[in-house]
Amino acid sequence: MTQPRHTALVQSLPASVPFVGPETQERARGAGFAARLGANESVFGPSPRAVAAMADAAKDAWMYGDPEVFELREAIASHHGVTAANVVVGEGIDGLLGYLVRLLVANGDTVVTSDGAYPTFNYHVTGFGGALHKVPYAGDHEDPRALLAKAAEVDAKLVYLANPDNPMGSWHDAATVQAMIDALPAGTVLALDEAYADTAPEGAIPPLDMTHPRVIRFRTFSKAYGLAGLRVGYALAHGDLITSFNKIRNHFGLGRVAQAGALAALADQEHLSATVARIIAARDRIGSIARQNGLVPLASATNFVTIDCGRDGAFARAVLASLVAQGLFVRMPFTPPQDRCIRVSVGTEADLDLFAAALPKALAGAADITVS
């Protein structure tokens, strides 16, 4: 019997995903997690107005969502002071990054990112046959100058920067990011991932400029808006680049309930502000717990805190394994030297009480393992 005739590219790729989800880990453990502190979701939840809008839309779930996402695009445009022609909405930033790579990257085309940066972007690039070139972080920050230099060296079609950054939580000020935009090599597109823009400090996000033809900025409803389960993201860019998405995007990828929920969430900025305040308070609590255990919390502009465990990756992995064994879902950066850290998403007071109790045990157990 003959087999499916996969492309040579697909045959060359490993069957892997960028992240192992908490559900997979729970199945392997045979038990649920007591605290979910690893996926950078908002445990504080969505706006009640969004919940009500989704409940109301559920009765109409027999209908496809609007393929033009008209109302949500118009609302996003009004919120940011741009036009709907500058907005594309899709299945989270992950889905939109996949579309962007499909638009720009053919087999063998060069793409630049940071070694240790958001791995889903790399997943899309390799999936379309792109050639990834990576530069190291500098002081736990992505390095805009090194990214630009590498992009010029390899004639990159696309360069990726997250500001604020995942997995480190660090950020650059608006002037630094704007300088990177101004210095983009000819023909290179900047994918500026601003998933954590809503939790960033004032002065971290440069003003929107829809006149630049080679800058695209990604935002999401998955973080501070608390709608990760809906997978709604959007991108802001020059109209010509946005129009190109209509050539290849899944026009029915965003369902009716998701569109209704995101539209209502965007309208409730009071809830967003209250959530951001809770995120900041939880970040402070995580930092305090880390310091009480002799660890260094890195300054964060996101809804998580990256904690320097003070030793090497083996020690941090042992700490992580102990936390997981104690029923806490957390993650860590994958690439040295950032893998000396663990990454803890913000949680409720009860979640963080569990973390405070588990961390000393994890550190003691990791010390015993690494010494022996």
pLDDT in tens, 1-48: 888 989 998 888 888 777 888 999 999 999 999 999 999 999 999 999
277, two tokens:
């305040």
Percent of the chain residues past pLDDT 70, beyond the cut: 99
pLDDT of residue 369: 73
Model confidence band, residue 371 (pLDDT cutoffs 50, 70, 90): low
DSSP H or E segment with residue 296? strand 296-297
Q: Using CA atoms, how far apart are residues 203 and 132, in angstroms rounded to an integer?
A: 31
pLDDT in tens, 301-340: 999 999 999 999 999 999 999 999 999 999 999 999 999 9
Q: Using CA atoms, how far apart are residues 7 and 107, in angstroms rounded to an integer?
A: 12
At residue 81, what are phi and psi to the nearest 5 degrees? Answer: 70, 35
Query: Is the C-alpha dihedral spanning 279, 285, 289, 290 positive or negative?
Result: positive
CA-nearest of 128, 83, 76 to 103 is: 128
> 20 CB contacts (<8 Å, ≥6 apart)?
none
pLDDT of residue 14: 86
Q: Using CA atoms, how far apart are residues 224 and 222, in angstroms rounded to an integer?
A: 7
Residue scoring higher pLDDT (120 or 370) = 120
pLDDT in tens, 200-216: 999 999 999 999 999 99
- Yes or no: domain 48-267 corresponds to CATH 3.40.640.10: yes
Written out in words, the top-level CATH class of the domain with range 17-45+270-371 is: alpha beta
Q: Give the DSSP letter of residue 34.
A: S
Q: Using CA atoms, how far apart are residues 371 and 177, in angstroms rounded to an integer?
A: 43
CA-nearest of 2, 39, 5 to 22 is: 39
pLDDT in tens, 84-141: 999 999 999 999 999 999 999 999 999 999 999 999 999 999 999 999 999 999 999 9
Model confidence band, residue 179 (pLDDT cutoffs 50, 70, 90): very high
Percent of the chain residues past pLDDT 90, beyond the cut: 93
End-to-end CA distance of the chain: 53
Residue scoring higher pLDDT (371 or 285) = 285
What is the rounded average pLDDT of the residues 53-58? 98
Question: Partners of 304 in the beta sheet?
Answer: 345
Model confidence band, residue 222 (pLDDT cutoffs 50, 70, 90): very high
DSSP H or E segment with residue 148? helix 144-154
At residue 161, what are phi and psi to the nearest 5 degrees? Answer: -140, 130
pLDDT of residue 66: 97
Beta strands in the chain (DSSP E): 35-36, 87-90, 110-114, 131-135, 158-162, 189-193, 215-220, 233-237, 296-297, 304-308, 328-329, 341-345
DSSP H or E segment with residue 316? helix 313-325
Q: Using CA atoms, how far apart are residues 121 and 266, in angstroms rounded to an integer?
A: 26
Model confidence band, residue 69 (pLDDT cutoffs 50, 70, 90): very high
**Strand order, beta sheet including 304-308:** 296-297, 304-308, 341-345
145, two tokens:
């100058």
- Cβ 362 vs Cβ 323: under 8 Å: yes
pTM for the whole thing?
Answer: 0.95
317, two tokens:
């992995």
Query: Is the C-alpha dihedral spanning 24, 29, 32, 34 positive or negative?
Result: negative
pLDDT of residue 370: 59
Q: Which of 1-15, 255-269, 336-350 has the lowest mean pLDDT?
A: 1-15
At residue 109, what are phi and psi to the nearest 5 degrees? Answer: -70, 145
Domain definitions of the chain by residue range: 17-45+270-371, 48-267
pLDDT of residue 195: 98
